[in-house]
């Protein structure tokens, strides 16, 4: 299994995405981000999307994650929809962590949010279907316990 870096090691593993004046580095973006095409239909803000940006080091792993979910669903879109995996909530997005001056893992393109309406912050919220969690965990991706819509290719400990 892929061993992802600790969050604190994200700069050395994924590169430094910081540009000038609090903006992202466009050079880092063009060197490190690639387009990911999901094997099933996804939506963002009720609009269909065909692809989204992800760090090049995460791309092939995310292909395996999404393929595993697609196979576990028997390639049935209706099951993907029921599991909430078709609702894209964001991947690369240059921003700080909540209540912190550190960069969010979204700033490195190594995180993805799914079905934010269903699985956002809070401990009492539902969990993803085991098929979904298993697919991410098999590739070493972490589902944050306090932010269940969020999967990342970086370790907390
Ligand atoms: Zn997130």
Q: Give the domain ranges of the chain.
A: 37-110+120-152
**C-alpha span between 5 and 35 (Å, rounded):** 22
DSSP assignment string, 26-93: HHHHHHHEEEE--SS-EEETTEEES-EEEEHHHHHHHHHHHHHHHHHTTT-HHHHHHHTTTBEEES--
Predicted confidence (pLDDT) per residue in 38-59, tens digit: 999 999 999 999 999 999 999 9
What average pLDDT is seen over the chain? 93
Distance 112 CA to ligand 1 centre (A): 6
Average pLDDT over residues 80-95: 96
Q: What is the pTM of this model?
A: 0.94
Distance 107 CA to ligand 1 centre (A): 10
pLDDT at 125: 66
Distance 34 CA to ligand 1 centre (A): 18
Distance 143 CA to ligand 1 centre (A): 9
Distance 2 CA to ligand 1 centre (A): 20
């Amino acid at each position: 299994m892929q061993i992802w870096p600790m969050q604190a090691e994200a700069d050395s593993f994924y590169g430094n995405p910081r540009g000038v004046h609090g903006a992202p580095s466009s050079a880092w973006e063009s060197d490190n981000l690639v387009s990911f095409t999901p094997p099933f239909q996804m939506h963002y803000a009720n609009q269909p999307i065909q692809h989204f940006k992800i760090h090049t080091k995460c791309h092939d792993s995310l292909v395996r994650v999404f393929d595993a979910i697609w196979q576990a669903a028997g390639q049935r879109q209706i099951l993907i929809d029921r599991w909430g995996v078709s609702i894209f909530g964001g991947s690369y997005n240059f921003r700080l962590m909540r209540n912190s001056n550190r960069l969010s893992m979204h700033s490195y393109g190594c995180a993805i949010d799914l079905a934010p309406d269903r699985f956002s912050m809070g401990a009492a919220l539902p969990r993803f279907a085991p098929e979904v969690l298993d697919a991410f965990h098999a590739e070493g991706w972490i589902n944050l316990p306090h932010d269940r819509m969020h999967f990342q290719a970086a370790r907390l400990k």
